[in-house]
Chains A and B, each alone.
Chain A
C-alpha cells in the first residue's frame, strides 16, 4: 500500500526557532518520488522540493533543508530561523511511476508567532 504519514497535526513556534516537519512514507515501488508542498491561507499549493528515490542526498535551499533516509522511509523538512511568513500547511506527498497522481499526507499546520 502507498501511504504518507505526517504525524504532527499542528506545530507552533516562535520566530527564529528551528522547526522540523516529519514525513514517513510507505511504498513497495523501487522507483518513486517524494515532494513537499506549502499551502498558505490562499489555498494555492507551492512546490518546495522533489526528491527521487535513488537520490538520497540531503538538500539545503536557504532556510529550508530536507533529510531523506530510505532506511527509515522518512523525508523530513527543516525550517531554520522560522519566520511568520512560514505559517502555512505543509504537505508531504508520494509519487509513484510517472503519470500517476500524488498521494498526500494529512498535512502539518505550522504557526509561527512573532
Chain B
C-alpha cells in the first residue's frame, strides 16, 4: 500500500529556533498534502493544505509566517516552525492524497512528528 513518511519522528529544540519537518510520499505522487496538529488528548486539527507548485492554504487562526509550508515536488512537502515557542509543542501529522485513486479519494497519513520546544 501507499506509504507516507515523516522526518524526524521526534525533535526537541530550544525556544526561538526553527524546526523543519518533512513529509514524503514514498511510492505515489501527491499534488496535495495536508498538515494537521494534535495536542495531547485532543483531535487532529487541520493547519494547512499544501499544493505542489503553489502557495499553501492556511486554516483560520494558523499563522502562515510562523508555519512555513513548501511543496516543491510531487513527493515532498515541508513544514517549518519558525521561532518555535513552548506552545508550539505538539504532534504534527501530514497526509498525502494519492492521485492514482481518481474519484475514490484516498489519503494516507504519515507517522507523525512529535515536537517539544523547551
Q: Is the interface of B mostly helix, strand, loop or mixed?
A: strand
Question: What is the minimal beta-carbon distance from B98 to any residue of chain A, in angstroms?
Answer: 10
A64 is an interface residue with CB less than 8 A from chain B: no
User: Which residues of B sit under 8 angstroms from A45, Cβ to Cβ?
Assistant: 93, 109, 112
Contact with A along B75-107 (1 / 0, CB 8 A): 000000000000000010101010000011111
Q: Which of A45, A98, A101, A106 has the most CB of B within 10 A?
A: A101
Q: Are B97 and A104 in contact (CB under 8 A)?
A: no
Instruction: Supply 14 A–B pairs (Cβ within 8 Å), ascending by A.
Output: A43-B91, A44-B111, A45-B93, A91-B43, A97-B105, A99-B105, A100-B105, A101-B34, A101-B95, A101-B107, A102-B95, A104-B43, A107-B42, A109-B41
A104-B43, A104-B45 known; 5 new pairs, CB 8 Å cut-off, are A43-B111, A43-B114, A44-B112, A91-B44, A99-B105
Binding site for A on B (CB under 8 A): 32, 34, 36, 41-46, 49, 91, 93, 95, 97, 103-109, 111-112, 114
